Chains A and B, each alone.
Chain A
């Protein structure tokens, strides 16, 4: 049962990614991207990461997709739809991508770890969110603060880049 669900959800995920890669219309590509993100959220639920599945839906399928769609909406429709699909020389990069996949898949087949702890230590009292909170604020407090600074820098950078009098 779990295997069948896994294959259905991973087909959704990979199909969405292929839709982003191959569709000509950027709006349609954004819809495929959201499709793929929901598939990944499903995979996260199968891996007992419920908090991250919800984070995936809220941050990626919600915030990032809406951000990309809004920026596409302020642009002229014909400008971004009239582009050709691929670069003039797309054969070699596609081959490089295939080689990258072959390499990573080879590593995945060679990869052996001790899976005796699989599925353990992921929740306190059945709550995945509580476990993440404990670990995040006990062991990763400094990286968490640095993340706040990264977000601030990105905010300032975005504002400075889109100012009117840039030369």
Chain B
């Protein structure tokens, strides 16, 4: 069963990475980031189960906290860009570079 769990985790990470790269809507880019983080969390929990060590589950709590703060900052950037450009298109976000 270990391999199947790892393949599901790999699928989640790959789908999330693809979503971050190909979607235009910044909201969906943030959702894809969440999917990626959940793939990593599934890996942690799987390893925690198969190694018989609860530390992986403790790590997942930290991962969840970091994911929540990342989403908060990402949404703040989205709101800021929406106020300036009236758009959440990632192609309009190149103004952040200047």
| Partner-B contacts on A (CB < 8 A) | 2-3, 6, 10, 13-14, 17-18, 20-21, 26, 29-30, 33, 36-37, 40, 43-44, 47-49, 51-52, 55-56, 59-60, 63-64, 67-68, 71-72, 74-76, 79-80, 83-87, 90, 93-94, 96-98, 100-101, 104-105, 107-109, 111, 113-115, 117-122, 128, 131-132, 135-136, 139-140, 143-144, 147, 150-151, 153-155, 157-159, 161-162, 166
Contact = CB atoms under 8 A, between A and B. Distances in A.
B34 A60 contact: yes
Contact of B32 (A20, A63, A122, A154): A20
Given A60-B38, A87-B23, A121 B86 contact: no
Which 3 residue pairs of A and B lie closest in terms of their CB atoms, listed nearest first?
A: A117-B52, A97-B18, A154-B69
Contacts of A68: 27, 30-31, 71, 75
Interface string B1-41: 11111111111111111110111110110111011001001
A40 B27 contact: no
Given A21-B19, A122-B48, A33 B35 contact: yes
Interface of B: 1-19, 21-25, 27-28, 30-32, 34-35, 38, 41-42, 45-46, 48-55, 57-58, 60-62, 64-73, 75-80, 82-83, 86-91
A24 to B, nearest CB: 9
Nearest to A146: B62
A88 to B, nearest CB: 9
Given A17-B16, A115-B51, A158-B72, 18 more contacts: A20-B19, A20-B28, A20-B32, A29-B28, A30-B27, A52-B45, A68-B30, A72-B27, A79-B82, A84-B24, A97-B18, A105-B10, A105-B11, A111-B3, A113-B2, A136-B61, A158-B76, A162-B79
A86 B23 contact: yes
Given A101-B11, A162-B76, A71 B27 contact: yes
